[in-house]
Structure 1
Amino acid sequence: MNEIRIDNITGKQVIIATNRRSRPIDNKNIQQKQVNSKLQYSHSECPFCKGNEAETPCEILKIGDENWSVRVVKNKYPTVTEDGDTIRGYHYVVIETPNHNKKLYKYKAEKWRDIFTAYKDAAYKCFRDKDIRYLQIFKNYGRQGGASLEHPHSQIVALNFTPQSKLMEDKYCKVCEEVESELIEVERIVLDRGNYIVYAPYGSTLQYQLRIALKHHRGSFEEILSEDGIDELSKLFEEVFKIIYESLGDIPLNICYYIYKDGNCYQHFYVDILPRGSFFAGFEMSTEVYINVISPEEAANKFREVTGYVQVSKVEL
């Protein structure tokens, strides 16, 4: 039975329509090839490869010395600039590794630690600008995920305004509310690790979407990525992307980190992992209502085949 759901945090509407999986699709092989297509770029020409550091714009920071692990540079084609008029901010590229062919599912906890350290340091630099109101960190992985270069990288965009979709009109934390609900319902939880849970959100807008959220309210990136916090999150990310690979393969996806200045009291840190196995078409673009042909419960069960997570009975309120 098809049903409409709402993502509790974003407010986005989604129709869970599992029956649409059986609809015919022309040129299926061509479509699949496009989804899995590799980005081609000569290593000698790649501006992000080791030895080509002079080809990138101004370096903001790096982790490591000559044998660097992560570099943060200004984006050569920025969405916003520091000297803008009505809109201004910062747009950085985080070069995650000198290895051109490094796959996401092969990142170890140590690599994630370096990446998160770079995120934290770059975010701190941005937030020193008192005009900055919002900061978005995201990764586009694979052509279908929106990546224009194959070399592993992510991006940071800091803005002097808060996007309309991120304005918090409700005076309570929706992440806390959702986490509490998921811990009670249980059926969509994929991993329960220390301070975090990983789950397929009730209102998942994309197939096999996963959300990583703290069980307890914390919003500041600096607070989350303390010495102990960064180790915990790094180990969790290594585990999560291995699970995704073992369940779905090396798929294109987006990673979106939601960070609020000074740990905004009404929202706390969470991450969305958005596999891009489906396309947004006319219906989604015209109505802003999404269609998901894989229910979150089914998605969670598929991931659980790898994690071995055992569902217990729902907690009674």
Structure 2
Amino acid sequence: MNEIRIDNLTGKQVIIATNRRARPIDNRNRQEEHISSELQYNHSECPFCKGNESETPYEIFKVGDENWSVRVVKNKYPTVIEDGDTIKGYHYVVIETPKHNIKLYQYKAEKWRDIFVAYKDVADKCFSDKDIKYLQIFKNYGREGGASLEHPHSQIVALNFTPQSKVLDDNYCKVCEEVESELLAVKRIILDRGNYIVYAPYGSSLQYQLRIAYKHHKGSFEETFSEYGIDELSRLFEDVFKIIYESLGDIPLNICYYIYKDSNCYHHLYIDILPRGSFFAGFEMSTEVYINVISPEEAANKFRESTAYVHVNKVEL
């Protein structure tokens, strides 16, 4: 049965059209081939590899010393610049590891912790600028995910304005509303662990989309990325990406973190993981209505098959 849904947090309209997946598209094989071949780069040429530190712009943060774990440098081709006129901000690259060929599903909790520590330090630096209003952290993984270099990295863009699609509602927290709804429904939850739930959103615009949210309202980035918060999220991320790999393979994807400067009572940090097993065509581009051929309920069931990693706690109603 086809139906239209709306993503409560983004307002995107989505048509769940499971009948369309019978179309003859060789999706996964093409994407896995791109990940393994199109982004190859010799270590001697890669500016992010250990030993080539002088090939990157100015370094603003590092975990470790000569044997570094994570480095943060200015983006050589920034989206925004510090001394812009109408638009200004900062654009950084987070080099996540000195290892050129490590895959996302191979990251351990310790690696995620180092990355999150780097995110927090850079966010603090950016938000010390009174003009910065919004910070977008994102990771492009694989060619279809938008990665131009194979070496594992993510990016941080700080803006002096809030993107229109991210303007907060003045009356209530949409994330709290969605989390409560998903906890009641249960059927789209993949992990219910500690302070977090991982779920396939009711209005998923992409196949196998996952969303991570704090179960209780937390408005500030500092609270979520406290020392304990970083440790908890790091352990969760290790398991989430093992689940994705076990379920879908080493697919291209995006990870998006949405972070506001002020501890607004209606801001609630959440994270989207967007596997790129599908693509947008003329209908989506012309109508801004997305087509998803895998229902979120089906997606959740597939992820739950990775029983070595998944445990859904009993939800108290």
TM-score (norm 1): 0.95
Q: Partner residue of 1:130? A: 130
Q: Is the 8 A contact 2:7 2:202 kept in 1?
A: yes
Q: Partner residue of 2:180? A: 180
Q: Partner residue of 2:21? A: 21
Q: Which secondary structure state, in structure 1, belongs to the residue aligned with residue 305 of structure 2? A: helix
Tell me by how many angstroms 1:226 deviates: 1.2
* CA 1:271–1:132: 2 relative to 1, 3 Å: same
Q: Partner residue of 1:193? A: 193
Residue segments in structure 1 that go unaligned for 5+ positions in a row: none
Residue segments in structure 2 that go unaligned for 5+ positions in a row: none
Q: Partner residue of 1:264? A: 264
Q: Which secondary structure state, in structure 2, belongs to the residue aligned with residue 60 of structure 1? A: strand
Tell me by how many angstroms 1:32 deviates: 6.5
Write the distance in 2 (CA, Å) between the matches of 1:8 and 1:242. 27
Write the distance in 1 (CA, Å) between the matches of 2:312 and 2:27. 39
Write the distance in 1 (CA, Å) between the matches of 2:190 and 2:94. 29
1:145-294 matches, cutoff 5 A: 145-294=145-294
Q: Which secondary structure state, in structure 1, belongs to the residue aligned with residue 115 of structure 2? A: helix
Tell me by how many angstroms 1:38 deviates: 3.9
CA RMSD of superposed structures (Å): 1.8
Q: Partner residue of 2:12? A: 12
Identity %: 83
Tell me by how many angstroms 1:264 deviates: 2.0
1:13-92 matches, cutoff 5 A: 13-25=13-25, 33-34=33-34, 37-92=37-92
Q: Which secondary structure state, in structure 2, belongs to the residue aligned with residue 217 of structure 1? A: coil
Write the distance in 2 (CA, Å) between the matches of 1:27 and 1:18. 16
TM-score (norm 2): 0.95
Write the distance in 2 (CA, Å) between the matches of 1:170 and 1:16. 30
* CA 1:266–1:151: 2 relative to 1, 3 Å: same
Q: Is the 8 A contact 1:36 1:252 kept in 2?
A: no
Q: Is the 8 A contact 2:192 2:313 kept in 1?
A: no
Write the distance in 2 (CA, Å) between the matches of 1:35 and 1:63. 27
Write the distance in 1 (CA, Å) between the matches of 2:124 and 2:312. 39
Q: Is the 8 A contact 2:6 2:203 kept in 1?
A: yes
Q: Is the 8 A contact 1:187 1:311 kept in 2?
A: no
What does the per-residue CA deviation read over 1:241-300, in whole Å, with 9 as the maximum and x for residues that have no partner? Answer: 000000101100000001121322112111000000011111111111000000000000
Q: Which secondary structure state, in structure 1, belongs to the residue aligned with residue 8 of structure 2? A: coil
